[in-house]
A = this chain, B = another copy of it.
Amino acid sequence: MQRDAAISLDNQLCFAVYALSREITKRYQPYLKELGLTYTQYITMLALWEDDRVAVKQLGARLLLDSGTLTPLLKKLETMGHLTRSRDPSDERSVIIALTDQGKKLKEQARDVPGRMFCQAGVTLEEADALRKHIASMMTKVQPNGIEEELKNDDL
């Protein structure tokens, strides 16, 4: 069976990452439910709490999501009253996302979510941070800011 080691499920980095990602998302769910947010909506709000009044394009570059995912998600968050979507007067192609007061206020409730989640999961913040750095290092290797056809995106 040695010759199958390369395609053994447990040897796949891709499966480990994929499974952990879904597991963490599930672990967040009860806490995010208190905020009335799904996981992707939460990630989007994290980005907006740091950097408000950005175009969908920039938000997508930050989250590595395209308009196909973001447009319906942002419309939902708009309906929920957390943000507004408006065309940029200086470039009508762009849609600027701006947090409402309600959206800004939600940040206070979100502040202790990561800490509570890791505490409940029995993971120290140091362990989480060590893994995060390891993953970030891999990410820079795997994605030197996009390949060939995406090289035009200088993102920032």
Contacts and interface: CB of A to CB of B under 8 A. Distances in A.
Contacts of A22: 64
- Number of this chain's copies in the assembly equals 2
B13 A24 contact: yes
A72 interface: no
Interface residues of A, number: 56
Contacts of A64: 19, 22-23
Given A11-B132, A132-B16, A135-B17, A6 B47 contact: no
Interface stretch (A74-82, A86-94, A95-103, A108-116): A108-116
A21 interface: yes
A50 B3 CA distance: 12
Interface in A106-156: 107, 110-115, 121-123, 127-132, 134-136, 138-139, 141-143
A91 to B, nearest CB: 25
A114 to B, nearest CB: 6
Contact of A27 (B6, B25, B123, B142): B142
Interface of A: 4, 6-25, 27-28, 39, 43, 46-47, 49-50, 62-64, 107, 110-115, 121-123, 127-132, 134-136, 138-139, 141-143
